[in-house]
Structure 1
């Protein structure tokens, strides 16, 4: 049984009288209530849910090396190269014959977001169906940070780009980044 005694009862050298006992407070019910409240709040609170972005992955059944028939229309293809110091280089089409020359950009609404919106409108001109739009190939260099990759994926979600992929950067693209001072 837990008790709280409030001390006192000592003498100061005068007459000795009968000791008065201090009232004791039983704390057993208070401790019991505290544990019940702690248990209640632990069981009823929800933990913060991790935020994640849906990412479509290829089928495990198919071997990607066997599937070489996929043709991507160059007029709708935008390649984004992520370099160092939060810089981006993008171009439309193939690197050897670009539809739009490689252009340097930064992250944010005044940087890559404007370029994605502009290129989405450009790609819709060449679409066969009304719901087809821009196809984006994202390639991160060794100099890029993980945060930059997450930021560009966020831009894809913000701009509602339906088709985008993360690919491997080629030696020619590394040379291009090096020439622009982004590698």
Structure 2
């Protein structure tokens, strides 16, 4: 005669749960390093441009710093690969603005000659590293290629100080519209 044990339950042995956190800690450190590096690289880098004072009390534009207005060169980028170039301040220079093309005999030659003249003048007054300050102003009609081309021209002409500005004065807007 066999006897069955009906009400007896078989219990399994409980194991202690152990979670390995090594992989999670490694991934956390990688993410922290990644975000630290990308935020540092993503910070905008800017330089200050020392332009002459344009307000009364200093004698108007350029009154306090003789020779500085000659250092300022402005390049306006327009559609169809057109460039408008002038030096000094727009109130004084609109009559002498030049319409140039890209390339060896265009804007590159003008930038090179002006920078050379400015460096010679700066060396004569005891400031040999004061080269040209170029303000690049791309219009809404210009394309990305024009901006890249003018930045290449800056490197070729060895212009060290330049900035890109997207604000136009009323005189510059009239000049581009009349062209």
Q: Same fold (TM over 0.5)?
A: yes
Residue number in structure 2 paired with 1:163 = 161
Residue number in structure 1 paired with 2:103 = 108
CA distance 1:153–1:100, change in 2 (3 Å): farther
CA contact (8 A) 1:81 1:141 kept: yes
Instruction: Write the deviation string for residues 66-108 of structure 1: whole angstroms up to 9, x where unpaired.
Output: xxx9434211000000011001000000000129810000001
CA distance 1:109–1:74, change in 2 (3 Å): same
List runs of 5+ in structure 1 lacking aligned partners. 1-55
**TM-score (norm: length of structure 2):** 0.59
Correspondence 1:94 to 2:92: no
How many pairs are equivalent? 117
Instruction: Write the deviation string for residues 10-63 of structure 1: whole angstroms up to 9, x where unpaired.
Output: xxxxxxxxxxxxxxxxxxxxxxxxxxxxxxxxxxxxxxxxxxxxxx8227xxxx
**1:152 shift after superposition:** 0.2
Choose from 145, 148, 155 the match for 1:147.
145
Instruction: Write the deviation string for residues 144-171 of structure 1: whole angstroms up to 9, x where unpaired.
Output: 0100000000111111111000012313
Structure 1: how far apart are the matches of 2:103 and 2:140?
22
Structure 1: how far apart are the matches of 2:70 and 2:87?
7
Structure 1: how far apart are the matches of 2:94 and 2:76?
16
CA distance 1:125–1:97, change in 2 (3 Å): farther
**1:123 shift after superposition:** 1.8
Choose from 112, 124, 135 the match for 2:119.
124
Structure 1: how far apart are the matches of 2:134 and 2:75?
7
Structure 2: how far apart are the matches of 1:70 and 1:115?
22
SS at structure 1 position matched to 2:155:
helix
SS at structure 2 position matched to 1:104:
strand
Instruction: Write the deviation string for residues 100-146 of structure 1: whole angstroms up to 9, x where unpaired.
Output: 81000000111100110111123224425112211100000011010
Structure 2: how far apart are the matches of 1:79 and 1:104?
12
Correspondence 1:71 to 2:51: yes
**TM-score (norm: length of structure 1):** 0.58
Structure 1: how far apart are the matches of 2:50 and 2:109?
29
